[in-house]
Amino acid sequence: MAIGSTLTFVLYSVLVLDPVGKCFRLDDSSNSLGLTFSYTLQMVQDFFELRSQDQLDCYSEFLQIWDVIFAIIYATMYGSWIMYLFNSRRILLVVPILAMVADWAENFVEILMINSYLDSNSVSETLASVGSGINMIKWVLLSLTYLILLTGIAIKIKSYFINKN
């Protein structure tokens, strides 16, 4: 399951996310608010101002569909590896699942910001702060997921060498 979900993750990233996201990408610019650890109202405004309405509509669709699926795929992949590395510690699955939920919540707030920007050419400070806060939570949870995986790998390697002797 872990290898299959990793292959799915790679193929989805290359064959779906990359092509679908081209409609809102710009050269020499940030191409997703969610890929930074946090963002300010000015960063959000700048991000939206650089894009046309069609590009913002495309970004909104990306957040509603393709990034939601991506979160399911990466949570499944990380969860599968955690299950492989930590047979009896299913509680650790909570971390990538919470990261996925935070990603979805962040997408929802970004869509609200896009709609606000398209309606009034502005975004509220509160909405940008909420989105940035959820984004930071997502990245902390993903970092914790990576730490769990690295710990599991280290334990497996240590166990291999102990059992070999």
pLDDT, tens digit (0-9, with 9 covering 90-100), for 93-123: 999 999 999 999 999 999 999 999 999 999 9
DSSP track, 45-85 = HHHHHTS-HHHHHHHHHIIIIIHHHHHHHHHHHHHHHHHHH
pTM (2 decimals)?
0.91
Q: Which helix (H) or strand (E) holds 2?
A: helix 2-12
In the predicted model, is pLDDT for residue 165 greater than 80? no
Q: Which two tokens stand for residue 73?
A: 């795929």
| pLDDT 10s digits, 21-48 | 999 999 887 888 888 888 999 999 999 9
